Amino acid sequence: MAQETVHYSHSEKDFILSPHSKKAPKRMASLMELKEIFRSADAVCFDVDSTVIREEGIDELAKFCGVGDAVAEMTRRAMGGTVTFKAALTARLGLIRPSYEQVQKLISDNPPQLTPGIRELVSRLHERGVQVFLVSGGFQSIVEHVALQLNIPTANVFANRLKFYFNGEYAGFDETQPTAESGGKGKVITHLKEQFHFKKVVMIGDGATDMEACPPGDCFIGFGGNVVRKQVKEKAKWYITHFDELLKELEER
């Protein structure tokens, strides 16, 4: 019998985009319009690995467990959009097989490093009354540690949950979490809109799973301050390399 490190989960609501909708497709927003959406957003969702923090949490865990190179290559393929996220996550964790003790020791010995400017940006968003969420394909225990550093409530964290047997050995991950699969971040945004009646939700991140969350997100901002994903840089209408760029946008209003 397995036990989980986190004992609560967020409810999930499916969303369906009908291919037979008779409504005319929405015109793509211009860069100026995207910036206005950001400045007037009700909520901003951040990816965590290689966005809010400088590293990829799963790669750091893999290094800690002695299988760093093989897992890093899987991560590159997953973030580039060439394999499904759940398939990549399953394969990577199957190689790592981290114990509960290893996860906790990683957090204490090698805590995640915040990306320059993120603390100031989140603080400024909070001052403006904007809700900030961390929506990550990473692991709940690591992401909650990051949330605490940024004064983000743990209730605003959506991430994957590792499972362990009572002796602490790896027992898999919770595959029912929306963030465990491609398209999951979009489901989280839909859930947030339904629960809190947000009108404008922004998604910021470095990877393909972040970009595909818009729609239902109203604005996607690609981030390349830690690593550049070619597909994201080429397709994102708004692409930044430092959070100071977003702080400046907030000063425009």
- Of 128, 41, 84, give the one whose Cα is nearest residue 74: 84
Is omega for the bond preceding 98 within 30 degrees of 0, making it cis?
no
φ, ψ of residue 205 in degrees (nearest 5):
-175, 175
Number of Cβ within 10 Å of residue 45's Cβ equals 26
The bridge status of strand 162-165 relative to strand 170-173 is antiparallel
Q: What residues act catalytically? A: 47, 49
**CA 47 → CA 24, 135, 202, 220, distances in Å?**
31, 5, 11, 11
The sign of the CA dihedral 74, 115, 146, 169 is: positive
Helix (H, G, I), strand (E, B) or coil at 62: helix
- Of 109, 73, 64, give the one whose Cα is nearest residue 91: 73
Is omega for the bond preceding 215 within 30 degrees of 0, making it cis?
yes
Strand arrangement of the beta sheet that strand 2-4 belongs to: 2-4, 162-165, 170-173
